[in-house]
């Protein structure tokens, strides 16, 4: 994550049982600087029978020089963000269950139209059928807001755009000697609220409501203990639930197909890289296709420095006029350095290209951030961070640059 939004919290795994999702190579020889356990600084939690409760409260003061993400007439403001969270993790010898919930309040000093409340509640469980097979279930509900300037946010909205997200999913993981298999199904339902424009008019957002279903299968083969090659086919269908009859339907279905490799090179590099093809067919628009690729690579440069690289592509939903969707391609690089055992420095940079097909609009995003986290003890931590976001668009008035700086305090048990 780029910028001052959050201090990472390391929690123990939900169960001491071995993870039998064997398509993931387990390499415990090294851990990233930001993820490794830190005795004396990690929360202990509160034991409740066979569960452990981890409550957290994070308070932050932020300043943004362009809260509405506009090219002209920029408005800067301070905000206070309160974020209490709680996680309940099982402590069983087999199977696992995790329930996590949180609430976030944003209060601006001057631009009170941006004041808002978000919440989320999620649960995930794993049923260990045998040593080499497990079933996973997950679900959640959240009320969230799109930040001004986000890819899907209305460009002339005078407030953050609220939406509700409902998710559900299941997966079955199995190992057959050297062969690994993971079959997953996921459901997502997005419901958007209408918002006000700077002129006081209502912007219709409910026509963005849609349900999406995904089925993915990943089948791999362990070439060696440190290399798993795999195929990853997937299918999805998208149903827009509230589009006016006068508008062309953006409902669609599509598929992805890719081959990849998950690897560990000595004690220095672990990664997962894949490449292939994706295509989306629309009810009333021209079909879209794009190379389908992704990468997630971690380099343990030294015991005190971790370098992270990521990249990916996707065909995403949009409500931009005349566009059926947009092709998103991203690449990012991050570095974490342990200056002291309890002082972590992080730097991140990312580039994203959003090409809105059947529309003249193309957006290029550049993001960068710096963050310092100081772990006082296992109950308290502070952090300071800086983020810059720059959007260059072929639609001239959509360009903007935003600088943010924040100071954070976290308390946990």
For residues 82 and 209, what is the distance between their CA atoms, to the nearest angstrom?
29
Q: Phi first, then psi: what are they for 305, rounded to 5°?
A: -135, 130
Which candidate, 385, 310, 370, 387, places its Cα nearest to that of 336?
370
Q: What is the pTM of this model?
A: 0.87
Q: Is the pLDDT of residue 49 over 70?
A: yes
CA distances from 223 to 28, 78, 413 (A): 19, 54, 43
Tell me the average pLDDT of the chain.
89
For residue 300, with 0-12 CB atoms within 10 Å meaning exposed, 13-18 middle and 19 or more buried, which class applies? Answer: buried
User: Residue 245 has what pLDDT?
Assistant: 63
DSSP 288-314: EEEEEEEEEEEEEEETTEEEEEEEEEE
In 3-state terms, what secondary structure has residue 396? helix
For residues 164 and 235, what is the distance between their CA atoms, to the nearest angstrom?
24
371-375 contacts at long range (C-beta below 8 A, 24 or more positions apart): 371/3, 371/4, 371/345, 371/346, 371/347, 372/343, 372/344, 372/345, 372/346, 373/7, 373/8, 373/343, 373/344, 373/346, 374/342, 374/343, 375/38, 375/41, 375/342, 375/343, 375/344
Per-residue pLDDT tens for 383-411? 999 999 999 999 988 999 999 999 999 99
Per-residue pLDDT tens for 241-300? 987 666 778 899 999 999 999 999 887 999 999 999 999 999 888 999 999 999 999 999
Q: Phi first, then psi: what are they for 113, rounded to 5°?
A: -65, -20
Share of the chain above pLDDT 90, in %: 72
User: Residue 190 has what pLDDT?
Assistant: 96
What residue segments make up the domains of the chain, in order of their start? 46-412
Q: Which residue has the tokens 């696992």?
A: 96
Which bin fits 394, alpha (ψ -120 to 50), beta or left (φ > 0)? Answer: alpha
Asked if residue 205 lies in contact with residue 317, where contact means CB atoms within 8 angstroms, the answer is no
In 3-state terms, what secondary structure has residue 206? helix
User: Residue 17 has what pLDDT?
Assistant: 37
Least confident of 3-17, 76-90, 314-328, 388-402: 3-17
In 3-state terms, what secondary structure has residue 401? strand
Question: Average pLDDT, stretch 160-184?
Answer: 96
In 3-state terms, what secondary structure has residue 180? strand
Please tell me which residue, 9 or 275, carries the higher pLDDT value: 275
Structure token pair of residue 338: 């342990």
Contacts of residue 135, defined as CB under 8 A and 6 or more positions apart, other chains included, come to 126, 127, 129, 170, 171, 172, 173
Asked if residue 328 lies in contact with residue 356, where contact means CB atoms within 8 angstroms, the answer is no
User: Residue 246 has what pLDDT?
Assistant: 60
Please tell me which residue, 5 or 206, carries the higher pLDDT value: 206
User: What is 46-412's CATH number, 3.30.1370, 2.60.40, 1.10.3470, 2.40.170?
Assistant: 2.40.170
The residues facing 8 across adjacent strands are: none
CA 144 to chain centre: 13
For residues 199 and 38, what is the distance between their CA atoms, to the nearest angstrom?
52
In 3-state terms, what secondary structure has residue 397? helix
User: Residue 23 has what pLDDT?
Assistant: 40
For residues 234 and 351, what is the distance between their CA atoms, to the nearest angstrom?
26
The residues facing 242 across adjacent strands are: none
Given pLDDT bands bounded at 50, 70 and 90, which one contains residue 222?
very high
Which candidate, 182, 15, 190, places its Cα nearest to that of 89?
15
For residues 167 and 127, what is the distance between their CA atoms, to the nearest angstrom?
19
Four-point Cα dihedral 218, 222, 226, 231, nearest 10: -30
For residue 266, with 0-12 CB atoms within 10 Å meaning exposed, 13-18 middle and 19 or more buried, which class applies? Answer: exposed
DSSP symbol at 226: T
Asked if residue 273 lies in contact with residue 256, where contact means CB atoms within 8 angstroms, the answer is no
Q: Is the pLDDT of residue 15 over 80?
A: no
């Amino acid at each position: 994550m780029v910028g001052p939004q959050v201090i990472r919290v390391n929690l123990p795994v939900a169960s001491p049982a071995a993870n039998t999702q064997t398509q993931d190579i387990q390499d415990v020889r090294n851990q990233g600087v930001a993820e490794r356990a830190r005795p004396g600084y990690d929360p202990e939690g509160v034991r409740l029978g066979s569960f452990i409760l981890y409550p957290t409260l994070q308070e932050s003061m932020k300043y943004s020089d362009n809260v509405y993400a506009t090219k002209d007439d920029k408005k800067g403001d301070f905000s206070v963000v309160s974020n209490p969270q709680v996680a309940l993790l099982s402590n069983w010898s087999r199977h696992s269950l995790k329930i996590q919930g949180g609430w976030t309040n944003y209060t601006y000093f001057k631009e009170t139209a941006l004041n808002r409340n978000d919440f989320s509640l999620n649960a995930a469980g794993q049923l260990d059928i045998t040593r080499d097979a497990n079933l996973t279930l997950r679900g959640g509900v959240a009320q969230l807001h799109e930040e001004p300037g986000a890819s899907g946010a209305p460009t002339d909205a005078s407030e953050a755009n609220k939406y509700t997200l409902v998710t559900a999913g299941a997966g079955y993981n199995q190992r057959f000697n050297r062969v690994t298999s993971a079959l997953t199904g996921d459901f997502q339902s997005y419901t958007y609220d209408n918002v006000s424009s700077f002129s006081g008019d209502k912007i219709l957002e409910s026509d963005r409501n849609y349900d999406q279903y995904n089925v993915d299968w990943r089948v791999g083969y362990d070439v060696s203990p440190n290399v798993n090659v795999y195929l990853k086919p997937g299918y999805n269908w998208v149903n827009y639930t509230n589009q006016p009859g006068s508008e062309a339907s953006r409902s669609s279905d599509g598929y992805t197909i890719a081959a990849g490799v998950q690897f560990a090179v000595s004690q220095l590099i672990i990664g997962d890289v894949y490449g292939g093809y994706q295509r989306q067919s629309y009810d009333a628009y021209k079909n879209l296709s794009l190379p389908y690729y992704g990468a997630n690579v971690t380099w343990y440069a030294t015991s005190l420095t971790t370098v992270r690289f990521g990249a990916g592509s996707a065909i995403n939903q949009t409500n931009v006029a005349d566009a059926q969707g947009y092709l998103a391609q991203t690449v990012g690089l991050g570095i974490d350095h342990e200056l002291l055992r309890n002082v972590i420095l992080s730097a991140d940079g990312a580039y994203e290209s959003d090409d809105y097909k059947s529309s003249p609009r193309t957006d290029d995003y550049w993001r960068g951030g710096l963050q310092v986290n100081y772990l006082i003890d296992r109950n308290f931590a502070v952090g300071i961070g800086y983020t810059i976001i720059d959007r260059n668009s072929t639609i001239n008035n959509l360009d903007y640059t935003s600088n943010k700086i924040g100071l954070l305090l976290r308390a946990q048990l």
